[in-house]
A and B are shown apart, each in its own frame.
Chain A
């Protein structure tokens, strides 16, 4: 198991640079806030030739997000994963950039919450919001990278994960507010840890 290393306590110097690069590349990414999602636990296991990732995420829906959901507004989250190759001079090279995209919507007729995995189109229906969020919170054995052969043994690799709330998928009138209202800052920060070979 690989313990998560929060970005702020990382002790190697490149992390600061990496953090800067990531923040620069993603200006509207996560914002440490009371409503931000949080990656509580994550682990990468080597299963044969594959790296499988499992993680637990905590979503904290704000009052406004909840209200919007109850009024039929679909909410979208992207759980983003990146594998970065650390380089001394240049910025880190992104080897893998993939995501799981969830859509959460309330159905008034059946009084249920529907979660749809936008990747494969699977739909899950839940009678409670808690159950719906529980599905989205759990990542189990997500296949990250092809195999050991893709990783050079002499290089250092980083694994980055982030839960990104897609504000651009909100209905148009809500978007300007979503960019200025803290209640809509539901994304998590990037969480980084080294990938052990």
Chain B
């Protein structure tokens, strides 16, 4: 069931394969656990993004929030499989919103951690090469892009994400938002995601979310974003 389901959700399948499923374990195990999601390790320490994102935020965000999405995703997948076994497709369909929410939460956070990096390492600065050119072509300049992204983030009503995406057909870049944990799927490849949920910044920035949106540019991992673009 899991593999059938995952075949229809490319972004979800990609994230599970890329960041969650351990290949050795998958080989050794039965097909039932093949698609089980696990919490990916952060590619840096909890305090590595300070002072822009506090250690406390990173620890809660990764260890508690992301873990809850992973657990919720696995539960949703199991319950859908159980419903399918019983031929109860109404029940299976009723679980779809939970699959979208927790699956999206897992995918989004997995992408987010990797498109951030400590300011002392790859974080910050400006994109280079083809990505830089594409941003200038589609937004005018890097600064225009940054401003547009911040305006978009500030305009999100409620919980959600803003993404720099590439259209698979035309290769053009654009900024899109997604409500809650809806993942970026379909025609778009997600390149850079910024979490605008309050839990992503509130302990440090409280209601001053514009300060968080300004600060996060110091820790964007443009190498990762460029890799996703290519």
Q: Do A and B interact?
A: no
